[in-house]
């Protein structure tokens, strides 16, 4: 059927979701630790750099994939 991804695709999607969840939880724990220690400059720099570098990496991957696929 059109909605059936297959076992391999389901495993890849599941691994991606699990990886994303663990990455987000690490970000949250680190941010809370910095806030609890009142390291505000480091807290904001950590959050800002994480978001900016994450978006830049996503854009770069999208661009490379688009160029490679024609």
Q: What is the pLDDT of residues 23-63, one digit of tens each?
A: 999 999 999 999 999 999 999 999 999 999 999 999 999 99
Query: Phi, psi at residue 4, to the nearest 5°?
Result: -85, 110
In a domain, 2, yes or no: no
What pLDDT is stored for residue 65 in this prediction?
A: 95
Could you give the number of structural domains in the chain? 1
Q: Taking the CA atoms of the chain, what radius of gyration do you get in angstroms?
A: 17
Give residue 41's domain range.
Answer: 7-69
In a domain, 58, yes or no: yes
Q: Are 43 and 34 in contact (CB under 8 A)?
A: yes
In a domain, 42, yes or no: yes
In a domain, 38, yes or no: yes
């Amino acid at each position: 059927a059109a909605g059936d991804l297959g076992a391999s695709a389901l495993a890849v999607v599941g691994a991606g979701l699990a990886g994303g969840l663990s990455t987000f939880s690490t970000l949250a724990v680190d941010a809370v630790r910095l806030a609890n220690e009142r390291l505000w400059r480091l807290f904001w720099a950590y959050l800002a750099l994480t978001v900016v570098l994450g978006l830049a990496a996503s854009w770069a991957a999208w661009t490379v994939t688009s160029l490679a696929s024609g």
